[in-house]
Structure 1
Amino acid sequence: MALMLCGALGACSVGPDYEKPPLAVPAKWSNNAGATTAKPAEFGQWWKRLNDPTLNNIVEQAASGNLDVASAKARIREARATYDQAVGGLFPSVSGTSSATRGKSGGAGSSGSVSNTLRAGLDASWEVDLFGANRRTVEAARYGLDAAEEDLRATLVTLVGDIATNYIDVRSYQARLALARRTAATQSETAALTRAQFNAGAASGVDLANATGQVATTEAGIPTLEASLAQSMHRLGVLTGQAPTALSALLRKGGAVPAPRLPLPVGVPADVLLSRPDVRLAERQLAQATARIGAAEADRYPAISLTGSVSTSGVRLGDLAKNSSISWSFGPSLSVPVFNAGQLQAAVEAAQAQRDQQFLNLRATVLTALEEVENAVVALAQERVRHEKLAQSVASYRESARLARTLFESGSTSFIEVLDAERSLYSAEDSLIQSRVNITTQYIALNKALGGGWNGAVNAGKPEIVDRMGPRPAAFLRGDGKN
């Protein structure tokens, strides 16, 4: 009955039709203790709100030169070709043949006769997509192309976040190095004053040793910071698709740690379903897996193919066009699965299990996205509170160090108080720099969690390697790999 109905209608499709699954998300962010009505989230080119032209320049370089992005572009080209190949399966295929032979007839030793035979023809075949196997394959390929495009967007989101994070690390290490060198210089002045007092009999050897040791301790941290700075610079160079040291000269010029404009509108949780490319990627993969169930199910039904051929033959070229030399054939063929030991049904069940995996992956991706946003919101808010306290701490320790140094120079206090005050001030100032960096880093994490990233034009059609196609004289492969 199904066969008769599909024959009457022309064609039909088996298997489930894809529908976007409903995904439950909260109405608002639980950690966004702000206005009762959330503003629309800001996604586009969020790094430009850090107002750092050098960062903007590096992001531009990375978007065009990063190797992961180039690989994602190649996957789009592959998905496009796969889709075109699947679409071609919906149409008939035609091939032409021609031959020319020359032969001799007659027994051995006889003169015989020599004859020529020319043949030309066309062969055509078409699989009637009666139960939608080819259409489901095209549908799956189209979803695969969508998924490849979302994969490119996800790669760009990750790339921009990594670029910004490593750039902030560079500015962080430069700021901490400047602080360490300033502190070491101040401590060296204190050590010189202590040495002068020791020579005059006004300070003890313990004071001099402590002063000298404190300078060495501060200076000992500088090589570690220099190594971390170089590593962050090298990472940025590689992320832009260049040599590790390609950006060193540009970054060595220095610059302040960029500060974001806050607060950042984060919208509502439902926005992540539309803005996060990894969520959209998982949804397209679910759609693709659903279409593959129909393709597997269609293999369990009969298949009809139409084949035909036209050929002509003759002893001379002019004979090929004569009616008497033309022959043709046309007819359908029917293939019906009779017994396959359950293999086709097992293929359907495997496709259904793969669809279930993609559905669970989509749910997990959504939950991960919600978790990342919640974590970034609370981390950013709490770091801002911490930064305020650290700023107060620095102000207090700075006053304490000034007073301790003044009292020590006048002989009214011991060097231990100066030592403790300067050590506490250096630690507090270093923590304040790191807190300022953490605020910007959490700002970056929040934008990544919201799905913000590159939204400019990306040319995915240009191949990395241009091959020489078409006929050309053959050449032996040389040992150096050149033809």
Structure 2
Amino acid sequence: MNALQRTNMKRQLNRTSLSNRKAGVASLLTALLLSGCAVGPDYRAPHADVPAQWSGGKSAPGTNGAQAAERPDLRQWWVHLSDPLLDTLIEEAVSGNLDVATAAARVREARAVVRQAGGALYPSLNGTAAFTRSGAGSHAVTTTSSSAGGSTSVLGVGSPANLFQAGFDASWEIDIFGGNRRSLEAAQGGLDAAQWDLRSTLLTLVGDVATHYVEARGYQARLALARATADSQQETARLTRIRFVAGSNSGLDAANASGEAQSTLATIPALEAAYAQSVHSLAVLLGRAPGALLASMEHVQDVPAPPLPVMLGVPADVLLARPDVRAAERRYAQSTARVGQAEAARYPRVTLTGTLSTSGTQFGDLARHSSIGWSIGPAVTIPLFDAGRLKAAVEIADAQRDQSFIAYRSAVLTALQDVENASVSLSRETERVQNLKRSADAYGDAAAMAQSLYRSGSTGFLEVLTAERSLYAAQDTLIQSRVLIATDFIALNKALGGGWDGTEAN
């Protein structure tokens, strides 16, 4: 083998070795990416220990076990109250309520956090450009050396110089231990929780609007009853005064009749104040001034009567329908991902960086090959000593994860309690209203008989006074019971997870 052949063989071996080294680096990077695992605990949805059926074994009165097991239809449950004005107010509240607007803004914020966290998984690229013009003073001194060992100083005029610079900087953190992926998981969990929080806010809003509306109608009904009763009692007082003047009865009857009428009149201002407060609260829920609904609510309507019975389904259905439970579960997922994020910070970080730069005294020189410089290579950051700070961060994240799990369990128990309480209240109040209705009817008959006997002189005025007082109390209590039935119906639908299921601005 001659010298030329040996030289060519060495060159070939060097090229092969360089290619092998490049392939080895590429294989190493690929292996790191493919084998990279996210440290920390992987999320598993928690198992909620819920009973197979509700404690009563049934839903509202009149249902059997088979009906109770049916999943309730919670879509726009408030339309079953058959009140078009209430439907309109709820739609207006969804679009104008300030709490809903705040919750929707939090959803937009969470979406941006997800995009921000996802961007960390990709390389970043920055471009730079600069122009500098520099020069010496107008009397610059230039010193030159001669071959004879002497030096000469020349006084002249300095010439300005231009410098153009451009370049790119790129970096990419190779997510070997999954810190960035865990960050993205946490951000996604936060977004899910924010979306469920929005639905929870809507659920609360719909229930509050319906409740305040029903209460306002209840105060209207009680005001109408109080005014009608007061008018009747004032007429009775007038007649007793006439009879007293005529000597047909004593002054005691006239005084009792007048006092009873004034007592009923005294309840009217308190009812008017309570009615106004309910309407004010209703207007604020719609995002309007407190007095904005007084005119539209002026026309008196009956207290909405809900359709009964209400199907409850099984307890497990509530966990799927209740947005507060779903939000708590998503926050548990978020806190689990943050444990892995904190754990990954304890491991080395590998970053691939690269630069490309060019410079020249003229703009056209930037594209010349001789003016271009570049560099590329990995950088490793290894945490060696931090006095336990990173370990403490993992412990903090783990404790926060435990808190999120406890909050989830608490949300489950609260949801079950809400359904049980609302169901029992509705069931018992439905039974109570039947007794109150019979009581009011009986007192009505008693009042009519007492009036008839009093006019015929067969009984005294005290019997009339007692009968009318009992009738007014029974009728007023009956109205309040009907309000409670409607509010219990609303509370039960809220507890089951029934809320706004239309379009929401988020």
TM norm structure 2:
0.89
Structure 1 residue 308 and structure 2 residue 354: aligned?
Answer: yes
Is the Cα–Cα contact under 8 Å of residues 33 and 174 in structure 2 kept in the other structure? no
Q: Which residue of 1 aligns with 2:80?
A: 49
> Residue 358 of structure 1 aligns with which residue?
404
With 407-416 and 216-225 compared, the bigger mean Cα shift is at: 407-416
Deviation at 1:400, TM superposition (A): 0.4
Q: Which residue of structure 1 lines up, in the alignment, with residue 443 of structure 2?
A: 397
CA-to-aligned-CA distance 1:454-474 (integer Å, 9 cap, x gap): 0001121xxxxxxxxxxxxxx
Query: Paired residue for 2:54, among 29, 47, 62?
Result: 29
| Alignment partner, residue 13 of structure 1 | 38
* 2:226–2:264 CA contact under 8 A, matched in 1: yes
Deviations 1:208-240 (A, max 9, x none): 100000000000100000000000000011000
Change (3 A) 1:6 1:209: farther
CA distance in 2, matches of 1:275, 1:323: 66
Q: 1:8 to 1:282 in 2, by over 3 A?
A: closer
Query: Take 2:401 and 2:49, find their aligned partners in 1: how far apart are those partners?
Result: 19
TM-superposition CA deviations, 1:54-101 (whole Å, max 9, x none): 000000000000000000000001000111111111111111111111
The 2-side partners of 1:87 and 1:146 are apart by 15
Alpha-carbon shift at residue 11 of structure 1 (Å): 2.1
Contact 1:296 1:347 in 2 (8 A): yes
Name the counterpart of 1:91.
Answer: 122
Q: Name the aligned partner's letter for residue 343 of structure 1.
A: R
The alignment status of 1:141 with 2:181, answered yes or no, reads: no
**Partners of 1:43 and 1:304 in 2: CA distance:** 52
Matched, 1:425 2:471: yes
CA–CA distance in structure 1, aligned partners of residues 189 and 349 of structure 2: 25
Structure with bigger gyration radius? 2
Q: What's the C-alpha RMSD, in Å, of the aligned pairs?
A: 1.4
CA offset at residue 241 of structure 1?
0.4
Give yes or no for contact 1:50–1:260 (8 Å, CA) kept in 2.
yes
Greater Cα shift, 182-191 or 294-303: 182-191
Aligned equivalent of 1:275, options 321, 327, 333: 321
CA distance in structure 1 between the aligned counterparts of 2:44 and 2:413, rounded to whole angstroms:
20
Q: Secondary structure at the match of 2:411?
A: helix
Q: Report the Cα distance in structure 2 between the residues aligned to 1:31 and 1:433, rounded to whole angstroms.
A: 27
Please say if residues 92 and 126 of structure 1, whose CA atoms lie closer than 8 Å, have aligned partners that are also in contact.
yes
Q: Residue 270 of structure 1: SS of its match in structure 2?
A: helix
User: Displacement, 1:102?
Assistant: 1.1
On the 8 A contact 1:32/1:377 being kept in 2, the answer is no
Structure 1 residues 260-299: aligned runs within 5 Å: 260-299=306-345
Name the amino acid aligned to 2:488.
Answer: Q
Segments of structure 1 that go 5 or more residues without pairing to the other structure are: 461-483
Quick check: 337-346 or 97-106, which moved more?
97-106
Q: How many residues align?
A: 458
CA distance in 2 between partners of 1:274 and 1:29 (Å) = 16
SS in 1 for 2:53: coil
Distance 1:367 1:240 in 2: 31
Runs of 4+ aligned residues of structure 1 deviating over 4 Å after TM superposition are 3-6
Change (3 A) 1:80 1:404: same
Cα pair 2:179 2:345 within 8 Å, conserved: yes
1:448 aligns with 2:488: no
Instruction: Tell me how far apart the structure 1 counterparts of residues 376 and 156 of structure 2 sit (CA, whole Å).
Output: 42
How many angstroms does 1:42 deviate by? 2.0
1-structure distance, mates of 2:237, 2:494: 48
Superposition TM-score, scaled by structure 1 size: 0.93
The Cα shift of 1:31 comes to 2.1
Q: Distance in 2 between matches of 1:4 and 1:81?
A: 31
Match in the other structure for 1:115: 161
Counterpart of 1:63, as a letter, is V
What is the letter of the counterpart of residue 103 of structure 1? S
Q: Unpaired runs of 5+ in structure 2?
A: 1-27, 142-154
